[in-house]
């Protein structure tokens, strides 16, 4: 794949995540909380897809061939993998930010809990779409997904989308410069460590 194709994929994933959130917001207004929840979750997965594409761009810069097999090996179509990727990035960001502000420690704790329970997030997505069964009782999506749960998840989805906006807006040569600087810094740090 070329740089242009990869940047286009990154942009398309961002735009799709943004549209999913807009549509979820519309469903929320009409009190369709379970369907809104599903779209917020799908938006988060699409952000995860954008992060995988961004990693492919960095790998392309470093001489790795990028093709469909590259993406298959990185679970590009696996829902939980994409959700966990987003959560890992968010946790890393908030770990740094919480060093300066103790008020962010609760958000960091929530993110870590979500990461530990990423399967629960995927299960909730399924509950938001399908009739389920617990013991001897059937549950509708409306029983499983509340307004409060959806509202909280809406905020998280929007935070994830905001986190990748700056990446999408970067031209390839700027990403290449950042990658080269990071590579230089890592080499320098390694050389100093090895002394």
**60-78: pLDDT as tens digits:** 888 889 999 988 888 777 7
pLDDT at 131: 95
Please give the Cα distance from 189 to 195 (Å, whole number): 10
User: Residue 163, exposed/middle/buried by CB under 10 A (0-12, 13-18, 19+)?
Assistant: middle
Nearest one of 175, 149, 125 to 6, comparing CA atoms: 175
User: Is there a contact between 104 and 94 (Cβ–Cβ < 8 Å)?
Assistant: yes
Please give the Cα distance from 45 to 190 (Å, whole number): 34
pLDDT at 96: 67
User: Is there a contact between 40 and 125 (Cβ–Cβ < 8 Å)?
Assistant: no
Sign of CA dihedral 147, 162, 115, 53: positive
Ranges of residues in the chain whose predicted pLDDT is under 50: none
This prediction has a pTM of 0.79
């Amino acid at each position: 794949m070329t740089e242009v194709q990869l940047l286009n994929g990154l942009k398309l994933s961002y735009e799709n995540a943004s549209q999913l959130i807009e549509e979820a917001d519309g469903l929320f207004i009409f009190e369709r909380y379970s369907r809104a929840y599903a779209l917020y979750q799908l938006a988060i997965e699409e952000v995860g897809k954008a992060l995988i594409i961004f990693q492919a761009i960095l790998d392309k810069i470093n001489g790795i061939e990028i093709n469909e097999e590259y993406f298959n090996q990185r679970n590009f179509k696996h829902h939980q993998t994409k959700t966990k990727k987003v959560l890992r990035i968010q946790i890393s960001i908030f770990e740094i930010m919480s060093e300066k502000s103790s008020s962010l420690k609760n958000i960091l704790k929530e993110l870590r809990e979500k990461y530990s329970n990423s399967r629960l997030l995927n299960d909730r997505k399924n509950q938001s779409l399908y009739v389920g069964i617990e013991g001897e009782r059937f549950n509708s999506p409306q029983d499983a997904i509340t307004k409060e749960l959806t509202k909280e998840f809406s905020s998280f989805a929007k935070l994830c989308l905001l986190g990748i906006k700056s990446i999408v807006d970067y031209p390839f040569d700027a990403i290449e410069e950042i990658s080269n600087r990071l590579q230089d810094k890592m080499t320098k740090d390694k050389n100093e460590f090895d002394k």
